[in-house]
């Protein structure tokens, strides 16, 4: 049996329940993993509220790190006793242990702690695909990144610095803006006190940026288009403020033949080899020191409702983990 967080109905943080669930043995293509720590991400909120519907009841949590306890037939990249980490479907990482598909579970280097891995798998591989797999970014490009002091944002600031990419961030307080700059942003705009479109134009000599990476959604999307250069790329990858309203293709034409994509990490992770390659790239960034883990908050598994409330209130900085 393993303590596990589930929901039986969609709603607020109070719908999160701690129960004991049987773990069982892995079948073909599966692995059983005992978790040491798991990560908290906005996708967990989307699933809890029903924005991303699940078949109920369902466990939550998309990333974790721990020890492989057993592997099923056909699993060759993992073995019992090995350190491992993942960002993977289906949800179920808010648990002491689980059986799950092995394809997206990745061997974890010995020199990366479980807690660090649990905090960066989903967010770090999100940054990896945004910078390397959606559109070919290169040294000298300019990026506008919203919520630059969040878990994904701080990793993106460091990643950009390591790649020679100029990243302009936005955040909701001066303190958060300072964190973004300290982590590698060339500048950070307090969107509560400044017009981020006007500030981006000033910072780019009225040219705009090559790429916008927007995980905020509804509140930032429309004005972000005005920050792009002609032929620029808008990468929408999250809905922290709500889903984006429909956009006319003519709007993209009128604003400079802009490109637009709505991406999701798990499309990229669906291919086993690509998933493992993305994880290795992330681990190399961490091992080299180019990317440093920033765990801003730690809660115990039984404090999950409090953790969700803090995340939704935008009271968190960096990454958030749950310890088992």
**Residue in 108, 122, 102 with CA at minimum distance from that of residue 39:** 122
For residue 151, the model assigns a pLDDT of: 86
pLDDT at 176 over 90: yes
With 90 as the cut, is the pLDDT of residue 104 above it?
Answer: yes
Report pLDDT for 57. 97
The domain defined by 135-262 folds into: Rossmann fold (3.40.50)
* pLDDT, mean over the chain: 96
- pLDDT at residue 238, as a whole number: 87
DSSP letters, 107-163, are: E--TTS-HHHHHHHHHHHHHHHHHHHTSS---TT-EEEESSTTBHHHHHHHHHHHHH
Q: How confident is the model at residue 318 (pLDDT cuts 50, 70, 90)?
A: confident
Residue with the two structure tokens 């689980």: 98
- Look at residue 319 in the predicted model and tell me its pLDDT: 87
Assess whether pLDDT exceeds 90 at residue 101: yes
The pTM score is 0.92
Domain boundaries, the chain: 2-123+266-323, 135-262
Predicted confidence (pLDDT) at residue 323 exceeds the cutoff of 90: yes
Q: What is the pLDDT of residue 136?
A: 86
Residues 227-238: pLDDT tens digits? 999 999 999 998
Is-contact 244 51, C-beta < 8 A? no
Higher pLDDT, 211 or 317: 211
The pLDDT value given to residue 187 = 98
The proportion of the chain whose per-residue pLDDT surpasses 70, expressed as a percent, equals 100
Question: Is residue 150 over pLDDT 90?
Answer: no
Tell me, what's the pLDDT at 242?
82
Look up the CATH number of domain 2-123+266-323: 3.90.180.10
Q: Compute the average pLDDT of residues 33-59.
A: 95
pLDDT at 144: 98
Check pLDDT > 90 for residue 110: yes
């Amino acid at each position: 049996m393993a303590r596990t967080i589930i929901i039986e109905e969609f709603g607020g943080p109070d719908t999160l329940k701690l129960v004991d669930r049987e773990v069982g043995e892995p079948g073909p293509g599966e692995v059983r993993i005992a978790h040491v720590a798991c990560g908290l991400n906005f996708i967990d909120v989307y699933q809890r509220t029903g924005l991303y519907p699940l078949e109920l009841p369902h466990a939550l949590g998309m990333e974790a790190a721990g020890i492989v306890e057993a592997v099923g037939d056909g699993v060759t990249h993992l073995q019992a006793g090995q350190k491992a980490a993942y960002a993977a479907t289906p949800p179920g990482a808010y648990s002491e242990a689980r059986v799950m598909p092995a394809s997206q579970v990745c061997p974890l280097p010995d020199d990366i702690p479980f807690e660090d891995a649990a905090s960066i798998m989903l967010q770090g591989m999100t940054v990896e695909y945004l910078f390397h797999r959606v559109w070919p970014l290169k040294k000298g490009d300019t990026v506008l990144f919203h919520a630059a002091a969040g878990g994904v944002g701080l990793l993106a600031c460091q990643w950009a610095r390591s790649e020679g990419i100029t990243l302009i961030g936005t955040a909701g307080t001066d303190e958060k803006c300072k964190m973004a700059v300290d982590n590698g942003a060339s500048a950070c705009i307090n969107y509560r006190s400044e017009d981020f479109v006007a500030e981006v134009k000033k910072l780019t000599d009225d040219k705009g940026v090559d790429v916008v990476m927007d995980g905020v959604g509804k509140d930032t999307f429309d004005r972000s288009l005005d920050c792009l250069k002609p032929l620029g790329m808008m990468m929408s990858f999250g809905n922290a403020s709500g889903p984006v309203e429909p956009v006319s293709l003519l709007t993209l034409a009128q604003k400079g033949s802009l490109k637009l994509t709505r991406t999701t990490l798990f499309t990229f992770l669906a291919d086993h080899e690509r998933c493992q390659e993305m994880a290795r790239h992330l681990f190399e960034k961490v091992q080299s020191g180019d990317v440093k883990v920033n765990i801003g908050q730690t809660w115990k598994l039984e404090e999950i409702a409090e953790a969700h409330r803090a995340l939704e209130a935008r009271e968190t900085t960096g990454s958030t983990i749950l310890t088992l």
